[in-house]
């Protein structure tokens, strides 16, 4: 029996004004992503990959079309309601880590739990940091952590809320090859153990090949999926 559809994209279009009047960044993209799968969004620089990821998260608004997450139409919701959907269903991993510099590793991972009102946020965050091998770095702030350690904190923060959908934008882009490979192994291991749907943007063919499916964009159009 196949897994149910977690994400559905319908005729998604994004246009922005430019010197000639209007530029279409995404052209009526339509596809579905079942739960508990892995999907790589690939394509040349400027093909619309990061714009698409931002729309899938409801962080940007389309010029046309719709995104449904767990059956909810994101763009029928207001900004606060979309934020609630993100908090309930999604986790994020970014190229530049996006850790809060004034918080320790433990506090950064606790934050999404605290926003949900979880009572034992500190213990759950500690356990997740142990899982990513940072039990000796709980009280360290990002400035004293290596790039690989910061990305492990980011992975712990993303997975600690047990999201149905994890969105990752060039998760190894700021790391050297060896560190990036370890981070990817960790991300896929956590993803499998938690049963998460993983959608990642990458320019690395080897990383994309590890995903069950690839979606290729060229000039904002879907050319393979």
Domains and CATH numbers, the chain: 5-224 (3.40.50.300)
Q: Please check the confidence at residue 2 and state whether its pLDDT lies above 60.
A: no
* Tokens read off for 217: 């964009």
Any idea of the CA torsion for 157, 154, 191, 223, to the nearest 10 degrees? 130
Separation CA 102–CA 143 (nearest Å): 9
Helix (H) / strand (E) containing 19? none
Of 67, 36, 69, whose CA–CA distance to 52 is shortest?
A: 67
Phi, psi of 42 (to 5 degrees): -125, 165
Q: What is the pLDDT of residue 105?
A: 97
Q: What is the pLDDT of residue 197?
A: 94
pLDDT mean over 74-78: 95
In this prediction the pTM is 0.88
B/e letters for 167-201, b = 16+ CB within 10 Å, e = fewer, are: bbbbbbebbeeebbeebbebbeebbeebebbbbbb
Q: What is the pLDDT of residue 97?
A: 85
Q: What is the pLDDT of residue 225?
A: 63
Confidence of residue 149 (pLDDT cuts 50, 70, 90): very high
75 pairs with which residues across the strands? Answer: none
**Sequence-distant (≥ 6) Cβ neighbours of residue 166 within 8 angstroms:** 90, 91, 92, 93, 158, 159, 191, 196, 197, 198, 199
Separation CA 34–CA 79 (nearest Å): 25
* Tokens read off for 130: 């142990």
Of 217, 225, 171, whose CA–CA distance to 198 is shortest?
A: 171
- Reported as a single tens digit per residue, the pLDDT across 3-60 is 788 999 999 999 988 887 888 999 999 999 999 999 999 998 888 998 999 999 999 9
Q: Please check the confidence at residue 199 and state whether its pLDDT lies above 90.
A: yes
């Amino acid at each position: 029996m196949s897994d149910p559809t977690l994400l559905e994209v319908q005729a998604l279009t994004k246009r922005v004004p430019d010197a000639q009047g209007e530029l279409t960044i995404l052209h009526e993209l339509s596809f579905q992503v079942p739960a508990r799968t892995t999907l790589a969004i690939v394509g040349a620089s400027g093909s619309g990959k990061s714009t698409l990821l931002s729309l899938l998260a409801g962080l940007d608004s389309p010029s046309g079309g719709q995104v449904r997450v767990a059956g909810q139409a994101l763009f029928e919701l207001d900004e606060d309601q979309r934020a609630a959907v993100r908090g309930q269903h999604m986790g994020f991993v970014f190229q530049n880590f996006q850790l809060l510099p004034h918080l320790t590793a433990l506090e950064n991972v606790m934050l999404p739990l605290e926003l949900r009102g979880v009572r034992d946020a500190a213990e759950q965050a500690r356990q997740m940091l142990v899982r990513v091998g940072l039990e000796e770095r709980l009280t360290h702030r990002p400035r004293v952590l290596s790039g690989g350690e910061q990305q492990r904190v980011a992975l712990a923060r993303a997975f600690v809320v047990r999201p149905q959908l994890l969105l990752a934008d060039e998760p190894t882009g700021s790391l050297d090859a060896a560190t990036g490979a370890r981070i990817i192994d960790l991300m896929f291991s956590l993803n499998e153990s938690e049963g998460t749907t993983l959608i990642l943007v990458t320019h690395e063919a080897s990383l994309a090949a590890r995903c069950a499916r690839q979606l290729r964009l060229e000039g904002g159009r879907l050319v393979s999926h």
